[in-house]
């Protein structure tokens, strides 16, 4: 007796499989509704299972003699058995494939619905530390003094909360640095009818003469002020000739001072002017006689405005030494030159903090009257913070 199980989507399909496999002589033993295996088939429509049986020898004819010609039109017992075995193997292979597919689908389903593992929470201290490190590197690359960097980051870290971010930190640093730089100031003109005397001092080679010519041209051409020029830099013939060339082009009078006694007379001659610009020779505090001459000149003139001109290409230590040597000045404003030659602007913040004086102009080239502007605090601050 051969017993087999057949499954179809309905009774008709299941019975068709029975007849195709066992023939019309098969006996139906049982019929029932079943569900397919696998989690994905839980909600599918039930299938029809038919249990059928047939006598293995029912359709087999007895073995005939080799001389019996009727064998030619029928199948032998071995042939029928071979066909049946082949069908059984195909059905078994199909069931294995279905079972394998169900396992694969189940694994895919479990993988898709696997709960996502949340990353470990980064502590506030770690988060703040990473953000601080980013801006610390930016400030260092812009050559900001390490003491100033520490001061800035300590303040920012105190104000940081659990929601600290790169953008919030950048905003805090921006406000702190721009506050340190302060608002730049230009020349404050006198209102009593007397000329405003403006003196330029600083070391050799920083561009005092060119900077003076740029500012003088700006007030003459853009503010319609009557300007007079004086140079006390008689140690460099080239400096006198340079300023004389600018004076001729701009149509301004120029007088050269060779001694302290002359300065008062020349200033008296310029009483009809709005502004008097005075250029001085570069002096090193290490050369005491020359530096004492500069002190005497500054004292005798009594200028309304004094600008200390420094180059952004000068090292921090040299700038501090220069500032210390000019500490005899009661008040002055800072001008920084050669921004176009410097890869970073940290020196501006360093000097501003060390000197505690107001910023004024910055220059970024040699063209007169161009290549000069009032210090752009927004631009400098963003340069110091660096790219995010």
pLDDT at 388: 56
pLDDT at 107: 78
pLDDT at 296: 86
**In Å, what is the CA distance from 378 to each residue of 3, 35, 370, 385?**
91, 73, 20, 11
DSSP string, 108-158: HHHHHTSPPPPPPPPPHHHHHHHHHHHHHHHHHHTT--HHHHHHHHHHHHH
Mutual angle of helices 346-355 and 146-159, in 10-degree steps: 90
pLDDT at 67: 42
For the 196-385 domain, the top CATH level (class) is alpha beta
The residues with which 196 forms a beta bridge, in sequence order, are: 275
pLDDT at 308: 95
Q: Structure pTM? A: 0.65
**Cβ neighbours of 147 (radius 10 Å):** 11
For strands 27-34 and 196-201, give the pairing. Answer: unpaired
Pure H helices in the chain? 11-22, 77-112, 124-141, 146-159, 166-181, 208-221, 237-250, 260-269, 288-301, 316-325, 346-355, 377-385
The residues of the chain scoring below 50 in pLDDT are 61-74, 122
CA distance 279 to 214: 13
pLDDT at 68: 46
Nearest to 228 by CA among 290, 270, 186: 270
CA angle, 330 then 333 then 334, to 5°: 130
- Report domain extents, the chain: 2-109, 124-181, 196-385
Contact between residue 251 and residue 221 where contact means Cβ atoms under 8 Å apart: no
Question: For 296, how many CA atoms within 13 A lie in the half-sphere containing its CB?
Answer: 11
Which residue is listed with tokens 């953008």?
Answer: 167
For strands 254-256 and 227-231, give the pairing. Answer: parallel
pLDDT at 132: 78
DSSP string, 353-366: HHH--EEEEEE-SS
pLDDT at 4: 84
Token pair recorded at residue 238: 């080239």
């Amino acid at each position: 007796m051969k017993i087999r199980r057949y499954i179809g989507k309905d009774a008709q399909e299941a019975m068709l499989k029975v007849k195709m496999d066992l023939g019309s002589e098969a006996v139906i033993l049982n019929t029932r509704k079943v569900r397919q295996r696998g989690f994905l088939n839980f909600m599918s429509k039930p299938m029809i299972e038919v249990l059928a049986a047939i006598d293995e020898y029912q359709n087999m004819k007895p073995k005939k003699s080799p001389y019996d010609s009727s064998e030619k039109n029928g199948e032998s017992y071995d042939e029928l058995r071979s066909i049946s075995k082949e069908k059984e193997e195909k059905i078994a292979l199909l069931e294995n494939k279905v079972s394998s597919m169900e396992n694969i689908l189940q694994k895919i389903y479990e993988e898709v619905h696997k709960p996502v593992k949340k990353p470990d929470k980064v502590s506030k201290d770690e988060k703040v530390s990473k953000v601080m490190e980013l801006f610390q590197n930016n400030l260092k690359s812009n050559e900001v003094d390490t003491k100033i960097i520490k001061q800035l980051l300590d303040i920012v870290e105190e104000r940081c909360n659990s929601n600290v971010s790169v953008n919030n930190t950048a905003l805090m640093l921006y406000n702190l640095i721009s506050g340190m730089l302060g608002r730049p100031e230009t020349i404050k003109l006198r209102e009593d009818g007397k000329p405003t005397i403006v003196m330029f001092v600083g070391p050799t080679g920083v561009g005092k003469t060119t900077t003076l010519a740029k500012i003088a041209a700006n007030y003459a051409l853009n503010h319609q002020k009557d300007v007079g020029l004086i140079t006390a830099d008689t140690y460099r013939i080239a400096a006198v000739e340079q300023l004389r060339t600018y004076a001729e082009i701009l149509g301004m009078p120029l007088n050269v001072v060779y001694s302290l006694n002359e300065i008062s007379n020349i200033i008296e001659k310029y009483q009809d002017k709005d502004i008097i610009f005075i250029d001085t020779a570069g002096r090193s505090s290490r050369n005491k006689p020359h530096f004492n001459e500069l002190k005497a000149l500054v004292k005798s003139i009594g200028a309304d405005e004094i600008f200390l001109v420094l180059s952004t290409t000068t090292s921090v230590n040299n700038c501090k030494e220069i500032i210390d040597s000019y500490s005899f000045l009661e008040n002055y404003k800072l001008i920084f030159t050669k921004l176009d030659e410097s890869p970073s602007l940290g020196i501006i913040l360093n000097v501003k903090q060390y000197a505690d004086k107001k910023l004024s102009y910055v220059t970024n080239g040699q063209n007169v009257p161009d290549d000069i502007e009032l210090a752009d605090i927004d631009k400098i601050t963003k340069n110091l913070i660096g790219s995010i």
